[in-house]
Amino acid sequence: MVSLTEPLEKFLDIATEAALSAGAILLENWSEDKNIEEKGRAGDLVTRVDRLAEAEILKIISRHFPEHAILAEESGKLGETETEYLWAIDPLDGTTNYAHGYPVSVVSIGLLIGGVPTVGAVYNPFRNELFRAATGLGATLNRRPIRVSDTIDLSKSLLVSGFAYDRRQTPDNNYAEFCYLTHLTRGVRRSGSAAMDLTDVACGRLDGYWERGIQPWDITAGSVILVEAGGKVSAYDENPLVIEPGGRVLATNGRIHTSLSQALQKASAWNLQFESF
Ligand code: IPD
Ligand code: CA
Ligand code: CA
Ligand code: CA
């Protein structure tokens, strides 16, 4: 158990300040030249605005907490190695959407304390929706408390998932799961923003989310928000989630957690059909 240097509210307020400030940058630059580049792998994009928003967030976090470490998507690991405080920052989650002019992107700012996701702020500037949570303090959307859905049957659920950028190079690509769950449920959406997927489960718009090849900056903030809204976040097999590069995450309203976990295991049989196709 880490003894806190500040109340959790303080960390949450700074995460919020940074998320709102970066969100404003996403909006201000929406109609400007985005300067789109590929990061080495086909389809893995970065824009001028990802970097601009990240610089703004780093400025705010390091001004308030110069002794903390930061893991930011475009800058990598920065700061102290000894500290128990690690900020996981995605300045623009939904870059492909943003680059194409499809307005579905958020800013995601999470704080791990002693390796545990503890504070999260996710801001969607296009909907003006601010999701916030810290462990034990509850989760809110625009300052009002939120709860997960009460759907208990997988067959009546609406899910969301995503695909990692290396999906063309690996059989670990989620194609079979996506089809199998589409078959079993009312539908599977793909928003293009993992942080938004988690917050949409947190406020009950969706019942569950899963993804493989996910990064700490994609899920740290959203995980805190979902858990504080009454949901559950775990590994695919329901064991505790370890926040690590390229991990797999299963996140639900809690009620469909076991049935979705079991369905993901069964879906691997569909992989064989895909391979022989
Ligand atoms: C991506 C989005 C997408 C998910 C990918 C992520 P980015 O993040 O969250 O929904 O499917 O796995 O890499 O690159 O837009 O920040
Ligand atoms: Ca992301
Ligand atoms: Ca990003
Ligand atoms: Ca990216």
CA–CA separation, 268 and 236 (whole Å):
12
Residue pair 95/215 in contact by the 8 Å Cβ criterion:
no
In single-letter form, the type of residue at position 45 comes to: L
Looking at the CA of residue 90, tell me the nearest atom of ligand 1: 16
DSSP secondary structure of 189-253 = E--S-HHHHHHHHHTTS-SEEEEEEE-HHHHHHHHHHHHHTT-EEE-TTSSPPP--TTEEEEEE-
Mean pLDDT of the chain: 95
Looking at the CA of residue 95, tell me the nearest atom of ligand 1: 15
Q: How far is the CA of 45 from the centre of ligand 3 (A)?
A: 9
Determine if residue 197 is labeled as part of a ligand binding site.
Answer: no
- Ligand 1 pocket check for 222: Cβ under 6 Å: no
Determine if residue 92 is labeled as part of a ligand binding site.
Answer: yes
- Ligand 1 pocket check for 162: Cβ under 6 Å: yes
* pTM (predicted TM-score): 0.96
Q: How far is the CA of 100 from the centre of ligand 4 (A)?
A: 14
The protein residue whose alpha carbon is closest to atom 15 in ligand 1 is: 94
- Ligand 1 pocket check for 218: Cβ under 6 Å: yes
Token pair, residue 123, equals: 């801001």
For 157-173, the pLDDT digits (tens) are 999 999 999 888 888 88
Alpha-helical regions (H) of the chain: 8-28, 48-64, 95-100, 175-184, 194-202, 216-228, 257-276
How many CB atoms within 10 Å of residue 277?
5
Alpha-helical regions (H) of 40-128: 48-64, 95-100
Name the band, by pLDDT with cuts 50, 70 and 90, for residue 271. Answer: low
Residue pair 136/8 in contact by the 8 Å Cβ criterion:
yes
Counting ligands in written order, the one closest to the CA of 92 is: 3
- Helices 8-28 and 48-64: angle between axes, nearest 10 degrees: 150
For 39-85, the pLDDT digits (tens) are 988 899 999 999 999 999 999 999 999 999 999 999 999 998 889 99
Token pair, residue 174, equals: 């989620």
Name the band, by pLDDT with cuts 50, 70 and 90, for residue 99. Answer: very high
The residues placing their C-beta within 5 Å of ligand 4, an ion, are: 95
Determine if residue 172 is labeled as part of a ligand binding site.
Answer: no
Q: How far is the CA of 1 from the centre of ligand 1 (A)?
A: 31
- Ligand 1 pocket check for 194: Cβ under 6 Å: yes
CA–CA separation, 92 and 43 (whole Å):
16
